[in-house]
Amino acid sequence: MHIIITDAWLARSRALYLSGYKLVAAGALASVALMLGAMAVYHGLFLEGVRQGWPGFTSVGRMVHESEARTQEVFMRENLDAMARKLGEMQARMVQLESLGERVAGLAGLSPAEFRQGPGAGGALVGGRELSVEELMAAMEQLDEIGGSRVDLLTVIESRLFDQKMQRRMIPTEKPVVGGDVGSSFGFRIDPITGRSALHTGLDFPADVGTPILAAAGGVVVVQEYHSAYGNMVEIDHGNDLITRYAHASQVFVKKGDIVKRGQKIAAVGSTGRSTGPHLHFEVWVSGVPQDPQRFLAAGDSVATARVTTRR
């Protein structure tokens, strides 16, 4: 673009050449200048007219203010409605959590009523009148309090279930010889060595020499020695005055003071001590009194069967 500027007084002219880049820059500068000018007029004239109460300016300012207020109100209401719907969903989830907590509390041996904290909430947010900010904040605070109490109760349930799990692990229900059938059972029998009637204080599991002997439950090894009658013997303390004894072993893989887990290999079948052939002699003692180990092992078989049925 060529622009020619002529000065009549000096009788001369001057030519300017503007490229496309310069035209774009000039247009941008003109737009910025126009915007700045409009802002200056608005702040310098319009706002001053509204503040001073000039005729015509007050009504225009009121219209602008009302329009901005309506826009803000619509924006806030949309956000409040969204928050109310979300809060309703959270309250519905809390009701589901309460129902689940009651069932789990029953499994833990607790009263389901202890987990119930009054009637479920949530219906007020579905339909009905619109909530105010104060009502919404109050509902959120109430939901926070209920959530905190649920967390506390679930912590108690978790602790109770953990205790029950540990107690089950400490009860000798694991068969000490895998696949082994019981030979001599608990009770009076004819002693194979003396031929007289005598109390057999455990179960015998005939097996080949070297067959693994497993801990019937978790506990602490309190005895690991050679006994004239029991041969190589291991005793495990499971707490609550409950002890299991494993006798006639050919080898022992644990020592006194070791902590063993349920099903851990602690020895191998043998025929040491007072024995007529390779087998494991297994005893269960409660408070110093020998018990029939078959009652404990039968309980373990029932639990295993229930697990298989549940999985199917």
> Could you tell me the pTM of the whole model?
0.51
Average of pLDDT values for 112-133?
55
The 3-state DSSP composition of the chain as helix, strand, coil percent (nearest 5) reads 45, 25, 30
Helix and strand counts by DSSP (H, E) for the chain: 5, 13
pLDDT at 68: 65
Half-sphere exposure of 233 (CA within 13 A, CB side): 20
Under a CB-based contact definition with an 8 Å cutoff, are residues 251 and 257 in contact?
no
pLDDT at 23: 67
pLDDT at 157: 75
pLDDT at 34: 81
Band the pLDDT of 13: cuts 50, 70, 90: low
The closest of 254, 264, 234, 295 to 169, measured between CA atoms, is 264
pLDDT at 203: 94
